[in-house]
Structure 1
């Protein structure tokens, strides 16, 4: 086990039990090498006058954007019961995900509009990312895009869609598509499914993807946000041909004057007349929308809203007859809710068209329409390149740093062999994401009847390495030997994983289990980074095979446990507790983002800056109703290898707060320099430096000839 102790101004790592290494208090050489090479590469780039030159020509940009705007609404015609008839809104969703939609090219003069139900509950997701929002994003970007527009999706993924953290806030980008149409729809669907497996950012619903179904598409977006991502603070619907400056957008959202509820902003459209000309592609009949003017709405290219609105808009859509101008329809729903769209503090930051390309203009805006995916990539590169002054400053300093780093490299290569360097890199490498839910594992050694036979008041589970026989024997002859305390039955069991490459060790474990009948072994790989699995396997065993107990405790193998004081504490609670867990509770612990630190957790695994309150893993006690609840919620929480912090994450989702013990001074991490029998006699749990110390201290405490 490892514990982080707060000393002075930072957390210091203390290695306990058998996990001790000589490199715990200095910067690893491999990290220095990585840092050095990074600086060297940067120096080469800057000193060679490398810069990202945009390939955007102003004339081409103007032409493409104007063409884009003029064809922003393109009529797609579908065959119906009568010839030359355009159906503006698609009928009920097709049951077949590969349904073909035939497009006809006829000039339509007589337009018949068919009302349909646009409420998103009429549609189902074919491709989904139901667990995405477990990352608790601050901002969700929803991009409606045609199924075939892979180039547009990839351009966004390589530009603004790649920004997962902005000003310390988590940002998530997802793409929404409908059903593909045409003769090759089955092949297109297979390509979408492969793309989804690769990027995990595609949502697909079973409506026909067309311009006239944009209203459905938008309502499906709102429904997904309301049902899958209510924990986000803000969302944005942004078209796939848009440039987006997330720094400026985040500044707007974090401003104190920005409302957190009933807020929606973008390019505000006011007093827009409803077009009644049947020859127009924007024609809307009086049957669908009888008013002569649309309510105030936000232009559909990109609008931002507080994340309480999606659910409200979905509900309002049940009362508002759908029509094919999707942004105006959202405006109608918002008006029905009595909410007025807000003009942004600086309206010039939401631009339909930017005119001639100017880098400074793009540094100031939030969003604007572009002409092609390639232009997005080119402009993004140019906007993100360092300014001239920054380049010159870096060049001057890098000339100096370059000489220093060359010396560092020389010293490094003379001090280390390639083999040792690779070994250090492997040691620092962060483990892959894995499924920690215990049903993926099975027990090799088990004691299924123990609790039924003994009916313990408290069962103590000790996670321990398979090869650590000495620790198990030290506990068996000390506090693990106390089976009856104050007329309460105590059961102590040891939990271990496997060493799949050591058959001799496994045979020894089987003999040990037959002798002592106190081993539980599961077939996960026993290692420090699998402690979370170990803890969840413990919870599974307790929930399935020890419901007879009143309480359980998880105690590390290097902890001296005073069983009498533990029972006294539990008995003093008077009545049996529920949703109860106690120990040395840590609150407000920061998530460490330094990759060289052993406790490093990246943003994509856990995006929040602080862990929720959790009991330190050395020793915590809990009521027996908790294991099953923790197991159930763990299915929905991405595991991290810091097992006690992960337990805190599960408890937070359950709405359960760990409680400090009645006397917090009875749980001690750092032992005093000198042994004091009276001091130790009053504790419940304290870490020890060695097994010899654990045994001698326990014997001294329990010596009847030495009264305190």
Structure 2
């Protein structure tokens, strides 16, 4: 048998067929492996295209980390109702796919009618119950939220459209509009706020410098009478509203999981009736705010921002910033969110006891909220909207949403650097206001 003698260049020609065969064999093996390991992505359950639903504290003193994920997320998180609904919204509002050039950074004037659904149609809707296998074992507040997911527009029962332009004061844009979330029966809380830190009119900075116009408005829903026997307080509320002219009330049940509606509806009201305000404080009616000190802080941001870019003014929000928080999975907890409803970590957000932000940001939040499915916890929902705007909230150590150490709560000197503290009863508000009027000299 003849033998092939290969050397140099001839060696390559002799081995070429074997090399080609070996590459072909590797390609065949890899193709078979990929085909065997491939599992097609399960097709999500069909959901309505136009669905709309009614941690740890940072101490860095700096801006929170920039959102890591883009608003227009095309990856679906399986197995949770909210995530699937939001996935549809992200695809529907993707500016690349839809040619939308606003990118969520509008001034709030691009859309004339924010909410198109009519309040008369807001009846319980059971179509999404089948998407939640554990619906029957959920707490009542979670069930109610799911059943009213299709509603976010409600009739304004009490309104004071001239609150920011009253004739009894000098016509000047409010430096600060204080929007306080309250409930029908909390008469004492509202009155204590009016007499202390929430006074309407001209308020001096703590340092005794410039005075600023401050307006206060209370945000209410309809009295929730489903939790037990309650007296009908609507007549008293009407009297209070006519006397103080500082109450906004909408026709929805005032429950904990409906607090998000107050943000949305207030942003609508602000856009129409008080767009000239410079800053907005949003808080609960059981907090105490050192308004004079807050004005000092806002002046530092207001004066230079008049000479800076619009984007910087649009991005201002400060409070007690919470990062790396996960949903509570304890069914008996106030903040319980079932895994079947939401999966994943919460975005960075500011604690809902009280935050302050520019009115310009409120206009942008109003617009982007249309692209974010509503969430039962209001401060988390605002964090979701901020994330989709690419805005990082700024932590301020003076926002004590978890209160002072117990040993310091009765010491006026302990409040020197506090802007907000939670929580305080009406009596405690009045006492603290009196004590802080003339703090001890040794402070």
TM-score band w.r.t. shorter chain: 0.5 to 0.7
SS of residue matched to 1:491: strand
Q: Does 1:489 align with 2:207?
A: no
Deviation at 1:462, TM superposition (A): 0.7
**Could you say if the C-alpha distance between residues 520 and 436 of structure 1 is closer, same or farther in structure 2, counting changes exceeding 3 Å?**
farther
Residue 480 of structure 1: SS of its match in structure 2?
coil
Aligned to 1:585: 321
1:671 is matched with: 404
Structure 1 504/707 Cα, relative in aligned 2: closer, same or farther at 3 Å? farther
CA deviation string 1:239-259 (max 9, x = no partner): xxxxxxxxxxxxxxxxxxxxx
Is the 8 Å Cα contact of residues 224 and 254 (structure 2) preserved in structure 1? no
Which 5+ residue runs of structure 1 have no aligned equivalent?
Answer: 1-126, 141-162, 173-199, 201-223, 232-307, 312-423
Specify which of 323, 327, 341 is matched with residue 605 of structure 1: 341
Of the three residues 305, 310, 320, the one matched with 1:575 is 305
Determine the C-alpha separation between the residues in 1 that align with 2:90 and 2:387. Answer: 21
Q: Which residue of 2 aligns with 1:635?
A: 370
CA distance in 2, matches of 1:444, 1:226: 33
2:197 match? 479
Secondary structure of 1:481's counterpart equals: coil
Q: Contact between 2:412 and 2:440, CA under 8 Å: does it hold in 1? A: no
Q: CA RMSD in A?
A: 3.6
1:76-475 alignment runs, 5 A limit: 130=49, 138=75, 164=79, 228=92, 430-433=143-146, 434-435=148-149, 438=152, 440-453=153-166, 455-475=173-193
CA distance 1:556–1:495, change in 2 (3 Å):
same
- Mapped partners of 1:672, 1:605: distance in 2: 36
The number of residues matched between the two structures is 313
Query: In the alignment, does 2:270 pair up with 1:542?
Result: yes
Distance change in 2, residues 1:442/1:638 (3 Å): same
Judged with a 3 Å threshold, the aligned counterparts in structure 2 of structure 1 residues 135 and 598 are, in CA distance, closer, same or farther, namely farther
> How far, CA to CA, are the matches of 2:265 and 2:320 in structure 1?
22
Shift of 1:448: 0.2
**Equivalent residue for 1:683?**
418
Q: What SS does structure 1 have at the residue aligned with 2:333?
A: coil
1:532 aligns with one of 254, 257, 260? 260
- How far the C-alpha of 1:558 sits from its partner, in A, is 1.1
Secondary structure at 1:635 match in 2: helix
Cross-structure match for 1:652: 387
Task: Quickly say closer, same or farther: Cα 1:575–1:504, change in 2 above 3 A.
Answer: same
Which residue does 1:516 correspond to in 2?
Answer: 244
Q: How many Å separate the matches in 1 of 2:89 and 2:240?
A: 54
The answer as to whether partners of 2:83 and 2:342 remain within 8 angstroms in 1 is no
What's the offset of the Cα at 1:636? 2.2
What is residue 595 of structure 1 aligned with on the other side? 331
The 8 Å contact of residues 496 and 534 in structure 1, kept in 2 or not, is answered as: yes
Q: Is it true that 1:498 corresponds to 2:216 in the alignment?
A: no
Cα shift readout 1:265-322 (whole Å, capped 9, x = no counterpart): xxxxxxxxxxxxxxxxxxxxxxxxxxxxxxxxxxxxxxxxxxx9x99xxxxxxxxxxx
The CA distance in 2 between the partners of 1:630 and 1:650, in whole Å, is 6
Equivalents in 2 of 1:171, 1:128: separation in Å? 11
Distance change (3 Å), C-alpha of 1:647 and 1:570:
same
Q: Distance in 1 between matches of 2:369 and 2:295?
A: 29
Q: Distance in 2 between matches of 1:226 and 1:513?
A: 41
Supply the distance in 2 between the matched residues of 1:595 and 1:704 (Cα, whole angstroms).
Answer: 45
Contact (CA 8 Å) 2:139, 2:331: kept in 1 or not? no
Q: Is the 8 A contact 1:553 1:619 kept in 2?
A: yes
The answer for unaligned runs of 5 or more in structure 2 is: 1-45, 52-70, 99-136, 205-209, 307-312
1:30-83 Cα offsets, whole Å, 9 max, x none, are xxxxxxxxxxxxxxxxxxxxxxxxxxxxxxxxxxxxxxxxxxxxxxxxxxxxxx
Larger gyration radius, structure 1 or structure 2: 1
For the structure 1 residues 695 and 226, does the alpha-carbon distance in structure 2 shift closer, same or farther, using more than 3 Å as the test?
Answer: closer
Out of 540, 557, 563, the residue aligned to residue 291 of structure 2 is 563
Q: Is the CA contact (8 Å cut-off) linking 1:482 and 1:563 kept in structure 2?
A: no
* Matches of 2:391 and 2:380, distance apart in 1: 14
Deviations 1:119-157 (A, max 9, x none): xxxxxxxx995469x9967459xxxxxxxxxxxxxxxxx
User: Residues 506 and 630 of structure 1: is their aligned pair in 2 closer, same or farther, counting only changes over 3 Å?
Assistant: same
Q: Residue 544 of structure 1: CA displacement?
A: 1.6
* Structure 1, 530-539 or 696-705: larger mean CA deviation: 696-705
Are 2:199 and 2:214, in contact at CA under 8 Å, matched by a contact in 1? no
Do the aligned residues in 2 keep the contact of 1:617 with 1:643 (CA within 8 Å)? yes
Q: Secondary structure at the match of 2:418?
A: coil
What displacement does 1:480 show? 1.6
Q: Secondary structure at the match of 1:521?
A: strand
Q: How far 1:598 sits from its partner (Å)? A: 2.7
Residues 436 and 129 (structure 1 numbering): CA distance in 2 closer, same or farther, change over 3 Å? closer
3-state secondary structure, aligned to 1:600? coil
Question: With structure 2 as the length reference, what TM-score do the two structures score?
Answer: 0.62
Q: For residues 83 and 191 of structure 2, what CA distance do their matches in structure 1 show?
A: 51
User: 2:36 aligns to what?
Assistant: none
**Which region of structure 1 is more displaced relative to structure 2, 462-471 or 442-451?**
442-451
